Amino acid sequence: MPQYAVLIYSPAPADPLTLTPDYVALLEQYPARVAELGGQIVAGYALQPSTAATAIRGDLVTDGPFIEAKEVVAGFFVLAAPDLDVALKIAQLNPATIHGGVEVRPLFVPPVE
């Protein structure tokens, strides 16, 4: 089954410790909704707040996110889904779409020679 990276965007600094109980409840229900559409979450990770990021550009290493932004990547998960249309339907159900957004990208599979 094809796999997709689903990037979760939230308002900066996207601190997972500030999630409301209602939002956490929505997150806990999400895997069942994914399964109902024929998908499976393969792995998922929340990130520390963007204030904990370290940016590297060439030889320059600085504290803080790579760029200043109103929304930052708060986490990501790998989704197995039958096709892109199903992956997009699953992503639209993600609670992050309420106050932020999600981005779906197919994982790269090297061509077979």
Domain CATH code at residue 83? 3.30.70.1060
* Residue 113, domain member (yes or no): no
* Residue 91, domain member (yes or no): yes
Q: Which DSSP letter does residue 110 get?
A: P
* Residue 22, domain member (yes or no): yes
pTM of the model: 0.88
Specify the pLDDT at position 30. 96
Q: Which domain holds residue 26?
A: 3-106
* Residue 112, domain member (yes or no): no
From start to end of 51-93, where are the E strands?
A: 54-57, 60-63, 71-80
Q: How many domains, the chain?
A: 1
Q: Specify whether the CB–CB gap between 51 and 18 falls below 8 A.
A: no
* Residue 111, domain member (yes or no): no
pLDDT digits (tens, 9 = 90+) for 14-69: 999 999 999 999 999 999 999 999 999 999 999 999 989 888 888 888 887 666 77
What phi, psi does 8 have (nearest 5°)? -100, 125
